[in-house]
């Protein structure tokens, strides 16, 4: 499985489907209270902590959970980006 370069654990270079050791896709069960438990290996991979807020998005026929990240944790992840920008003369 390929993950990000480690510069920011919340923004992987590519997204891969995690599978169990037997090669099966991980599944969870919805409780009577409509709760699910995120599998441990995914929690660890995404550095999730108890009480962390998640954004919930319905996309077509699936539900996506996106961890909210403290803005302080993103400091420096754009290091080295080229910030030069040539403006049009009427925009200066």
- CA–CA dist 6, 13 (Å, integer): 10
Question: What pLDDT score was predicted for residue 50?
Answer: 93
CA-to-CA distance for 9 and 24, rounded, in angstroms?
24
Interval 46-65: pLDDT, tens: 889 999 999 999 999 999 99
Report residue 19 as tokens. Answer: 């599978």
Q: What is the pLDDT of residue 19?
A: 64
**Tokens at 76, concatenated:** 């420096």
Q: pLDDT (tens digit, 9 = 90+) per residue, 60-76?
A: 999 999 988 777 777 77
Q: What 8-state DSSP symbol labels residue 66?
A: E
């Amino acid at each position: 499985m390929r993950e990000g370069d480690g510069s920011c654990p919340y923004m992987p270079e590519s997204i891969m489907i995690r599978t169990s050791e037997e090669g099966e896709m991980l599944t969870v069960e919805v409780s009577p209270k409509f709760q699910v438990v995120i599998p441990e290996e995914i929690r660890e991979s995404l550095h999730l902590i108890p009480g962390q807020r998640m954004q919930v998005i319905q996309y077509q026929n699936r539900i996506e959970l996106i961890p909210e990240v403290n803005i302080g944790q993103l400091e420096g992840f754009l290091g080295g980006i080229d910030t030069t920008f040539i403006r049009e003369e009427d925009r200066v």
